[in-house]
Amino acid sequence: MQHVRAYNRLLFGVAGLGGLLFGIDVGIIAGALPYLEATSGLDPSHLSFIVAAVLLGSVISSLVAGALADLFGRKTLMLISALMFVISIPLIALSHGFGPLVFGRLLQGASAGLIGVVVPLYLAECLGPDTRGRGTGLFQWLLTFGFVIAGLITLYFSYRLGVVSKLGNAAQIFAFKDQAWRDTFWVSLPPGLLFVLGSAIVTESPRWLLRRGKKAAALAALQRSRAEEQAQAELAQMEETIAAERAKTSAGSAFKESLLRRKYVIPFILACVILTCNQLTGVNSIIGYNTTILLQAGLSDYQAHIGSLLFSIVNFGVTMIGVLLVDRKGRKFLLSLGSAGIVLSLLATGLLFARTQAQQVDVKRAVQTMVRPDQTLSLKFDSAAAQKLLASAGANAGGRPQSLEIIYSYGDYRSVTNLVRSNETALPVTISRSLPANKVAAFFSNPFGHLDAARSAPLRIDAARIAPVPSQTNGWLVALTLYLFMAFFAVGPGVCVWLALSELMPTRIRSNGMSIALFLNTGTSTAIAGVFLPTVGKYGYSAMFFGFAACTVVYFITATWFLPETKGKTLEQIEERFESPGALVDEFAG
């Protein structure tokens, strides 16, 4: 049994490295972008496409990942994804110009899309029922650790830049920034190399091997992670499932064994609903706009950045708790608990913002008159400017510090300025035409937008809200509700979503079904990113949080009454559960 435990630890390590690379793929650009922006000579539209290239690569690769996993095998595709990540690092870090940067980022994104499908798929098919939850949970845990690493790298280079800046040498500052964004990518190379090594050492998925007629290899793969008796029993169960499918097909019952059968349709729909609802909690937007949200809530710039780091730490720490609980308490319990907690924390956040938004004054008409003939804007927001803008709307500052946030658009493409306060020394608020670099980047910014028209469209001020700066107490209360949101997400959906994706899908459709479901997940995330700023601009943050809460109610209902418990069951037993005519009715009643 010693060799079984050692091999399971190896599988856990590979799972963790896969998650770590996924997290680094998404999060690393945040730390590198300020230095890249300062030294690359690229305009904002090109930089925005470099940031979005990971999403583009991920969407494309996730669509074909299932088919590739069936064609080449799970292990082979993991190795390919690891090599793609490793190759992308020197491509990016040694690049000089837009082309190599974009290609390297696209390669990273493609790697992330493949990892997001094939690693949970591989773990579900290789780990036993008693360890499957922990292994897949480690994927999510190390994914969140990737975000923490990205944040720590940012703090490190920020500290070093402060030391270099004191020397006052412009050439040295430029050289440091140029090397900083390159080093930011280089430090992610070691985990990529370890993932290559781990992927080369592990065996192929026993279920993939058996479906290719390699029974001896499948048994050998099972024996590495299970006791002999359990391996033999599970192999027999797998053979029975495959034999039953082939018997029905050979008997001419092609319709009955089509993908429209209950055992395929119901788990596929459940997985798609869970993954879609996972994004409809607003988690990606809340993570992405976390600092801005805390600034709007009343924290200072420094406090907001500290609060944002604490947010990532909460995500990382509570995910570990979820990993420890998932095989003890079960997926259904954690998803129900997590989604219920998310609803309550989002409602609390929305109520706090509704209270402060009642004092907002929209001065967009006055700001619109300040737009220059070249369709740009520069506004120094101090106490006098705040009072003048408020007076144009028939309001008064009352001697209190005010905050300003402008949401604007060129044609169909909307953006937002940083939050500024009248009592803080700051550079003027500036707005210039910054659009996606091309139609591919434009699609991910706004799928229904017209890029050519936006290049000549006038600057439109959609909202320019002035409000009294909320108290720090209010800011920390909002931070607390967001920490609760992140904690409930991490312990439930964060850990269980990958399990739901890999466990619910029957073997015959698992790889392709996971690709489609992950594509829906990514598409939902993109759609939310597209409507986030317009909704906030028109209705405020409270409406956005209330909307996320309403969507999460659907998540809670699905998890509590329709999702079967898969803890401790083999994949074949889960598949058999959905064959029952009253599968969902029984679950609802029970």
CA distance 21 to 58: 13
Amino acid making up residue 321: I
Give the chain's radius of gyration (CA, Å). Answer: 26
CATH 1.10.260.40, applies to 1-226:
no
Please answer whether residues 131 and 83 qualify as being in contact, where contact means their C-beta atoms are separated by less than 8 angstroms. Answer: no
CA-to-CA distance for 101 and 104, rounded, in angstroms? 5
pTM listed for this prediction: 0.71
**pLDDT tens per residue across all 590 residues of the chain:** 677 788 888 888 887 888 787 777 666 666 676 677 677 777 655 666 676 677 778 778 888 888 888 889 989 999 999 999 899 999 988 988 878 888 888 898 888 888 878 888 888 788 777 777 777 677 777 777 877 777 677 667 767 777 887 777 888 888 888 888 888 888 888 888 988 998 898 889 888 898 888 989 988 888 888 888 888 888 888 888 778 767 765 555 444 445 566 767 888 888 888 888 888 998 878 887 787 788 888 887 678 878 877 888 898 889 888 888 888 888 888 999 999 999 999 999 999 999 888 888 889 999 999 999 999 999 988 888 888 999 998 888 777 888 888 889 999 888 878 778 887 756 688 898 877 766 766 776 677 788 889 989 999 998 898 988 888 899 999 999 999 999 999 998 888 877 777 777 776 677 777 777 777 777 777 677 667 766 776 777 898 899 999 999 999 999 888 888 777 777 777 777 776 655 554 544 44
Q: What's residue 346's pLDDT?
A: 97
Beta-bridge partners for 468: 402
How many CB atoms are closer than 10 A to CB 60? Answer: 15
**Spatial contact of 471 and 483, defined as CB atoms under 8 Å apart:** no
Structure tokens belonging to residue 399: 């001697």
Dihedral class, residue 456 (left if φ above 0, else alpha if ψ from -120 to 50, else beta): alpha
Provide φ and ψ at 403, rounded to 5°.
-115, 155
- State the pLDDT at residue 301: 67
Judge residue 372's burial from the number of C-beta atoms within 10 Å of its C-beta, 0-12 exposed, 13-18 middle, 19 or more buried: exposed
Q: Which helix (H) or strand (E) holds 410?
A: strand 402-410
For the CA atoms of 274, 279, 284, 290, the dihedral, rounded to the nearest 10 degrees, stands at: -100
- Per-residue burial over 532-562, b if 16 or more Cβ lie within 10 Å, else e, is bbebbbeebbbbbbbbbbebbeebbebbbeb
Residues 125, 128, 133, 139, CA torsion sign:
negative
Distance separating alpha carbons of residues 227 and 231, to the nearest angstrom: 6
Per DSSP bridges, beta strands 429-431 and 377-379 are antiparallel
The values of phi and psi at residue 407, to 5°, are -110, 125
Q: Scanning the structure block, which residue is given the tokens 């003027």?
A: 428
The CA distance from 37 to 16, in Å, is 32
CA distance 66 to 68: 5
**Two tokens at 25?**
């793929």
Structure tokens at 40: 């690359």
**Cα angle for residues 335, 18, 89 (degrees, 5° grid):** 135
Express each pLDDT in 279-288 by its tens digit: 899 887 888 7
Distance CA 276, CA 14 (A): 27
Neighbour count for residue 475 (Cβ, 10 Å): 24
Q: Kindly list the distances between the CA atom of residue 254 and the CA atoms of 17, 124, 509, in Å, as whole numbers in the listed order.
A: 41, 28, 15
* Three-point CA angle 289, 293, 296, nearest 5°: 140
Q: pLDDT value at position 589?
A: 45
Domain boundaries, the chain: 1-226, 361-470
DSSP 420-489: EETTS--PPEEE-----SSHHHHHHH-TT--HHHHTTPPEEEEEEEEEEPPPHHHHHHHHHHHHHHHHHH
pLDDT of 261:
66
Residue type, 57: G
Q: How far is CA 536 from CA 137, 350, 354, in A?
A: 33, 12, 12
pLDDT digits (tens, 9 = 90+) for 99-152: 888 888 889 888 888 887 888 888 878 877 777 777 767 777 777 787 777 767
132-165 vs 2-39: helix crossing angle, rounded to 10: 30
